[in-house]
Amino acid sequence: MATRETSLKKSSPALFQQVQGVLRTQEGVLLIITIISVLILATQTDKFLTVKNLLNQGRLMTEIGLIALPMTFIIITGGIDLSVGSIVGLSAIMLGYSWHNLGFPLEVAIAIALGIGALAGAINGLIITRFRVPPLIATLATLAFYRGLAEGIAQARSVTGYPAWFFDLGQRETLGIPNQLYFLVIGIVISAILLSRTTFGRSLYAIGNNELAARFSGIPVNRNKVLIYAFSGFMSGFAGYVLVSRVSTTRSDMGSGWELDAIAAVVLGGTSITGGTGSILGTTIGLVLIQLLKNGLALSGVTGDATIVVIGSVLILSTLINIVVQRRLRGV
């Protein structure tokens, strides 16, 4: 390995440096893994690498994607939000309930769902900052609490029979591209800019690396934390709306277990679980990689249980590769 590297260095230093530049970033390593996975999967079945299939996958990953964006913010600050899946369920139920049972116009019901999501997130943030409860524990508690609320309100009944326009977001396309995918792309762009270019984004990194020093530097640590948990709740509420629109029904178990999918995408994307580093680009690649693996393996005839095993292995493998590559390049 060492000799090959040196000979490469001699023959074309420019190329080597370029490759090294890409590999130096976690996102670069992950992108290469994604490309390799796609190429392998494409050889297994010709149904995989088609525009139609890929767009459909984009549709399916939107909901998790919307949640993974604020989750990236939260994990960068050293926190975690386990309650997102339950907020999806609660918002979805509130959408159906306030339209069907309380008789609000559907537009208002949608707004209520989003508002409830944001409120649920803000409550997480307040519990975490006011009472100094560790985020893991606070959101583990609200995971149960919000799901319980959703089930209590739903009383095991689902709401269906939405008017046709309601399905525009989840089931139709504009210019051949699924409608919800536009929202995901907009969300990615805004989140990326927010994180990398603004004082707010910078404060999140500062908090994640050294919360005390951030506080001592006059950064409104608590306010910003409440904001990101509220944002997380809002996006979960929005994901709930997208989901209901896609599957045409509301049930109280919607979004169960989504917190783990969102966290997996974020962490696979190179965001440190201990906080301080990470990027939206990484999360996006992580999200895409997981979705393509799920779909590609299913299309290749791999059974569901085996698919989960493969995805788990890829998670571990890519994390290891990243660690090894980074370490080697840093010369540690």
Partner 1 sequence: MADSQTLLELKHISKSFPGVKALDDVSFDVRSGEVHALLGENGAGKSTLIKIASGVYQPDGGEIVVGGKAVRFGSPRDAQVHGIATIYQELLLYPELSVAENIFMGHAPRTRLGAVNWPEMRRKAEELLASLNIHDLDVTTKVGRLTVGNRQRVEIAKALSMNARVLIMDEPTAAITEADVERLFEIIRLLKGREVGVVYISHRLHEVFDIGDRVTVLRDGRYIATKAVAETTEDELVNMMVGRTLDTMFPKLETQVGEVVLEVRGLSRGRMVRDVSFQLRAGEIVGMAGLVGSGRSEVAQTIFGLTPPQAGTILMRGREIKIKSPRQAMRYGIAYLPEDRGTQGLIRQMELRHNTSLTVLRDLSRAGFINRQKEMQLAQSTIEKLSIRAYSPLQIVGKLSGGNQQKVVVGKWLATRPRVLIVDEPTRGIDVGAKAEIHRLLSELAQQGLAILMISSELPEILGMSDRILVMREGRLVAEFSRAEATQENVGMAMMGNWTGNGNTLKVQADGAAWQA
Chain positions contacting partner 1, by CB under 8 A: 197-200, 202-203, 205-206, 209-210, 212-220, 276-277, 331
The residue among 179 and 203 lying less far from partner 1, judged by its C-beta, is 203
Token digits of residue 1: 């390995």
We find the least distance from the C-beta atom of residue 193 to partner 1, in angstroms, to be 8
Q: Which residues contact 257 (CB under 8 A, 6 or more apart)?
A: 85
Is 71:263 a contact under the CB 8 Å cutoff?
yes
Rg (C-alpha) for the chain, rounded Å, is: 21
Nearer to partner 1, 206 or 314 (CB): 206
CB of 65 to partner 1, least distance (A): 24
Q: Which is nearer to partner 1, 172 or 223 (CB)?
A: 223
For 165, the enclosing helix (H) or strand (E) is none
Q: Are 148 and 87 in contact (CB under 8 A)?
A: no
Cα dihedral 45→311→280→122 (10° resolution): 130
Question: Closest distance between partner 1 and the C-beta of residue 90, in Å?
Answer: 31
Tell the smallest beta-carbon distance from residue 75 to partner 1 (Å). Answer: 15
How many CA atoms within 13 Å lie on the side-chain side of 225? Answer: 28
Between 217 and 313, CB nearer to partner 1: 217
The residue (of 197 and 327) whose beta carbon lies closer to partner 1 is 197
Nearest to 117 by CA among 140, 146, 76, 144: 146
Query: Minimum CB separation from partner 1 for residue 247, in Å?
Result: 37
